[in-house]
Each structure stands twice: as structure tokens, then as C-alpha cells.
């Protein structure tokens, strides 16, 4: 993805590469974009990258749900 390449070039050598670094960068960028800009970015994705994007969303969402479920169910045990 062109955006990821640009971000990588901008930050390489300046961050440690931790999950926290990635979260901060992602949230900072998303704060600067409106809905239409985000949709335009998605529309520009090649089919393979769009599939990866959706797959990643599904996987991370399921992980979050499973973690929440595990936390909720462990309360009763």
C-alpha cells in the first residue's frame, strides 16, 4: 500500500517498532483523515490488498472478541 510505504520511509530509524509506536502512528494519521478520504484510500486498493485489509480486520476483531469473552467467562470460574 502506497500509504504504508510512505509512512515507513518517514519513520524508519526514528521509532523502535513496538506495537505502541504503530498504534500512535495509525491513530495520528486516522485523526487527520475524514470519512471520504478513508473511502477513497480503500477504493484505490488493488484487490489483493483489499482482501488482506478485510482479512486483517476480521482476524483482529475476532481476537478482541475472544479476549473479551475469555475475560468475561473467567469472572465466573
pLDDT tens track, the chain, 77 positions: 788 898 999 999 998 999 999 999 999 999 999 999 999 999 999 999 999 999 999 999 999 999 988 887 765 55
The pLDDT, as a whole number, for residue 21 is 94
What are the structural domain ranges in the chain? 1-44, 46-77
| DSSP letters for the chain | -HHHHHHHHHHTTTS---HHHHHHHHHHHHHH--HHHHHHHHHHS-HHHHHHHHHHHHHHHHHHHHHHHHHHHHTT-
Q: Record the pTM.
A: 0.69
Closest CA to 2 of 49, 51, 52: 49
Amino acid at each position: 500500500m502506497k500509504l504504508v510505504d510512505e509512512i515507513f520511509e518517514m519513520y524508519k530509524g526514528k521509532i523502535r517498532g513496538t506495537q505502541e509506536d504503530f498504534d500512535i502512528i495509525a491513530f495520528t494519521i486516522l485523526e487527520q483523515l475524514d470519512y471520504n478520504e478513508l473511502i477513497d484510500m480503500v477504493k484505490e486498493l488493488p484487490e489483493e490488498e483489499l482482501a488482506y485489509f478485510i482479512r486483517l480486520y476480521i482476524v483482529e476483531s475476532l481476537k478482541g472478541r475472544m479476549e473479551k469473552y475469555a475475560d468475561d467467562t473467567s469472572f465466573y470460574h
